[in-house]
Amino acid sequence: MKRLFSMALLPIILGGCAATLPAEVSSLGDPANSTSGIRSTQYRSPISGYTHREPTGPKAWGPLNDAQSTAKGDAS
Protein backbone atom coordinates (compact mmCIF):
# COMPACT_ATOMS: atom_id res chain seq x y z
CA MET A 1 0.00 0.00 0.00
CA LYS A 2 2.86 2.36 0.79
CA ARG A 3 4.43 1.61 -2.56
CA LEU A 4 1.18 2.35 -4.42
CA PHE A 5 0.76 5.62 -2.54
CA SER A 6 4.30 6.71 -3.34
CA MET A 7 3.83 5.88 -7.04
CA ALA A 8 0.66 7.98 -7.12
CA LEU A 9 2.40 10.86 -5.35
CA LEU A 10 5.41 10.90 -7.70
CA PRO A 11 3.71 12.65 -10.69
CA ILE A 12 2.30 15.32 -8.38
CA ILE A 13 5.74 16.09 -6.95
CA LEU A 14 7.40 16.12 -10.39
CA GLY A 15 4.60 18.29 -11.78
CA GLY A 16 5.47 20.97 -9.24
CA CYS A 17 8.95 21.17 -10.74
CA ALA A 18 7.71 22.07 -14.22
CA ALA A 19 9.72 24.84 -15.88
CA THR A 20 6.84 26.33 -17.88
CA LEU A 21 3.38 27.39 -16.88
CA PRO A 22 0.38 25.69 -18.49
CA ALA A 23 -1.35 27.42 -21.40
CA GLU A 24 -4.17 29.80 -20.61
CA VAL A 25 -7.43 27.86 -20.50
CA SER A 26 -9.84 30.75 -20.78
CA SER A 27 -10.69 31.88 -24.30
CA LEU A 28 -12.69 34.88 -23.17
CA GLY A 29 -11.72 38.30 -24.41
CA ASP A 30 -10.75 41.35 -22.44
CA PRO A 31 -13.69 42.46 -20.24
CA ALA A 32 -12.79 46.09 -20.87
CA ASN A 33 -13.28 45.59 -24.62
CA SER A 34 -17.00 45.97 -25.31
CA THR A 35 -16.86 44.33 -28.76
CA SER A 36 -15.21 41.08 -27.72
CA GLY A 37 -17.32 38.40 -29.40
CA ILE A 38 -20.82 39.31 -28.30
CA ARG A 39 -23.46 37.42 -30.26
CA SER A 40 -26.81 38.91 -31.11
CA THR A 41 -29.65 37.97 -28.79
CA GLN A 42 -32.58 37.91 -31.17
CA TYR A 43 -35.61 35.86 -30.15
CA ARG A 44 -36.30 32.67 -32.08
CA SER A 45 -39.41 30.65 -31.37
CA PRO A 46 -38.64 27.09 -30.23
CA ILE A 47 -41.51 25.75 -32.36
CA SER A 48 -40.68 27.68 -35.54
CA GLY A 49 -39.98 24.53 -37.62
CA TYR A 50 -42.99 22.58 -36.33
CA THR A 51 -45.13 20.68 -38.85
CA HIS A 52 -48.48 19.30 -37.72
CA ARG A 53 -48.96 15.61 -38.49
CA GLU A 54 -52.06 13.53 -37.90
CA PRO A 55 -51.75 10.00 -36.53
CA THR A 56 -52.50 7.19 -38.93
CA GLY A 57 -53.98 3.80 -38.28
CA PRO A 58 -52.02 0.54 -38.27
CA LYS A 59 -50.99 -0.91 -41.62
CA ALA A 60 -49.62 -4.23 -42.76
CA TRP A 61 -45.91 -4.44 -41.96
CA GLY A 62 -44.85 -6.29 -45.14
CA PRO A 63 -45.42 -3.50 -47.71
CA LEU A 64 -44.03 -0.87 -45.31
CA ASN A 65 -40.89 -2.93 -44.80
CA ASP A 66 -40.45 -3.38 -48.55
CA ALA A 67 -40.90 0.36 -49.13
CA GLN A 68 -38.09 1.16 -46.68
CA SER A 69 -35.73 -1.51 -47.98
CA THR A 70 -32.71 -0.26 -49.93
CA ALA A 71 -32.27 -3.43 -51.93
CA LYS A 72 -34.56 -6.24 -52.96
CA GLY A 73 -33.58 -9.58 -51.55
CA ASP A 74 -31.47 -10.64 -48.57
CA ALA A 75 -29.77 -7.67 -46.92
CA SER A 76 -27.41 -9.70 -44.72
In the predicted model, is pLDDT for residue 7 greater than 80?
A: yes
User: For residue 48, what is the DSSP state?
Assistant: T
The pTM assigned to this predicted structure is 0.24
Length of the chain: 76
pLDDT at residue 37, rounded to an integer = 60
Report pLDDT for 18. Answer: 67
Distances from the Cα of 50 to the Cα of 41, 55, 57, angstroms: 22, 15, 22
Q: What is the pLDDT of residues 13-53, one digit of tens each?
A: 877 776 676 666 666 666 666 665 666 678 889 898 899 98
For residue 74, pLDDT beyond 60: no
